[in-house]
Amino acid sequence: MTAALDIRPAETSAAFKQFVELPYRLYAQDPLWVPPLRSAQKKLFTRQTAFFEHGEMELLLACRDGRPVGRIAAIQNHAHNLHHKDRVGFFGFFECLIDDAEAAVGLVRSAERWLAGRGLTSLRGPVNPSMNAECGLLIEGFDHPPAALMPYNPAAYAGLLESAGLAKCKDLLAYQVIAEKVQGGAGARERLDRMVAIARRRHPEVSVRTINMRDFAAEIPRFMAIFEQARRNNWGYVPISEAELMETARDLKQVIDPDLVLMAVADGEPAGASLAIPNINHGLAAARGSLFPLGFLRFLRAMKKVHDIRVLGIAALPRYRHLGIAGLLMLETITRGLPKGYDIAEASWVLEDNVMSNRTIQSALDPRHYKTYRIYEKAIAGIVNSG
């Protein structure tokens, strides 16, 4: 007989430890899962990150006979609701035994009750903990490990969440770009070269430079200002706060390759930017969740062999989009990365209905759409009095 399900906030030190450790147990035999650093997870779950200047989070743990079988975080993002003038609640950090649908449904309902008690009327996710961080549930592309800062989960999770009444809200696409295909003469590279040559001939005032690491503190706001302006009208956009910006800058400084962080300049003014990072998941996988005492050495050793990157974003300011800047930045990323051994890239994520971005990537880079992530949503009105 199955033991009774008990779901409650992870408020005690023992329950908190179980919440943090659950994925390390569930994925112990999964070779594609990349263990996050426990130190980073604990910092986030103890609300010591910049997100909590405008966000709240309740950690919920499901147990049977005292043994954890699932977890979820209910999240209120005040910045999102202020910007969009709505009452959306979020969930994230969902994990569950794949054969325990009762636990999955119970966790979702518990998150709904917490959010409904705060006057929120819909549930959306997963986001960990926001759209400015890891987000989406992997629904296609289970034969590859996740790229840096992208989530991973078993295929069964989609069914678990759907059994709790969640339905598709939006899909996020990930593309794989193989340099050999782009370089292959009469194909994507030829089209990209032609597009860039036309842009350079018509607009010689446009140039590309790398990030100045000696002026890093000032450079990051310059770059982020471009991305913020370019994505302002995107679905799910939430302005990044100054504290979040500086926190992101500190994290990025540890992992970026300056040759892969580029700014397009038109007549001396910032016009576009691109940000790519080496796939640090190789190092994280080697570190096995901790940098000490030996994880840091394993991390460094693994990173020396990295040959793939994740392109987090390529953006052109609206008034400069006619200059072919996106294509120019794509070509520069490829040509600067190849001598360093970077021959594979993941471009992610892109909203399924962002026609311009998808068209640019598909026409210029001959990519493979190899992963899809889904954001789910459901109404939560009236959940407060439900069982």
pTM of the model: 0.93
CA pair distance 162, 195, nearest whole angstrom: 43
pLDDT confidence tier of residue 235, bands split at 50, 70 and 90: very high
CA pair distance 200, 321, nearest whole angstrom: 14
State the residue for tokens 């994740």.
Answer: 310
Question: Which two tokens mark 292?
Answer: 């000490």
* pLDDT over 60 (residue 371): yes
Q: Which pLDDT score is estimated for 387? A: 41
CA pair distance 372, 155, nearest whole angstrom: 12
**Number of H-type helices and E-type strands within the chain:** 13, 15
pLDDT confidence tier of residue 386, bands split at 50, 70 and 90: very low
Fold of 176-371: Aminopeptidase (3.40.630)
CA pair distance 260, 164, nearest whole angstrom: 42
| CB-based contacts of 288-297 (< 8 A; 24+ apart in sequence) | 288/35, 289/24, 289/35, 289/36, 289/37, 289/38, 290/37, 290/38, 290/39, 291/37, 291/39
CB 351 within 8 A of CB 219: no
pLDDT tens-digit readout, 243-283: 998 898 889 898 999 999 999 999 889 999 999 999 999 99
78: β partners? none
CA pair distance 265, 207, nearest whole angstrom: 5
* pLDDT over 50 (residue 52): yes
Q: Which pLDDT score is estimated for 1? A: 47
**Distance between terminal CA atoms of the chain?**
22
State the residue for tokens 């000696």.
Answer: 214
Q: Identify the residue with better confidence: 365 or 303.
A: 303
Q: Which pLDDT score is estimated for 364? A: 72
Q: Which pLDDT score is estimated for 182? A: 64
pLDDT tens-digit readout, 308-342: 999 999 999 988 887 778 878 888 898 889 889 99
81-108 average pLDDT score:
98
**Could you tell me how many residues make up the chain?**
387
56-80 average pLDDT score:
98
pLDDT confidence tier of residue 205, bands split at 50, 70 and 90: confident
* pLDDT over 90 (residue 200): no
Question: Which two tokens mark 33?
Answer: 């899962």
Question: Which ranges in the chain are annotated with CATH 3.40.630.30?
Answer: 5-173+375-385, 176-371
Q: Cα separations (Å) of 53 from 33, 78, 243, 264?
A: 30, 9, 8, 32
Cis peptide before 31 (omega within 30 of 0): no
Mean pLDDT of the chain: 92
275: β partners? 261, 313
Q: Which of 172, 173, 190 is nearest to 181 (CA)?
A: 190
Domain with residues 5-173+375-385, CATH architecture:
3-Layer(aba) Sandwich (3.40)
pLDDT tens-digit readout, 141-159: 999 999 999 999 999 999 9
Burial of 268 (0-12, 13-18, 19+ CB in 10 A): exposed
* pLDDT over 70 (residue 13): yes
* pLDDT over 80 (residue 40): yes
Q: Which pLDDT score is estimated for 196? A: 65
Query: Which range is most confident: 187-191, 215-219, 363-367?
Result: 215-219
| Beta strand 344-351 pairing with 308-316 | parallel
* pLDDT over 60 (residue 222): yes
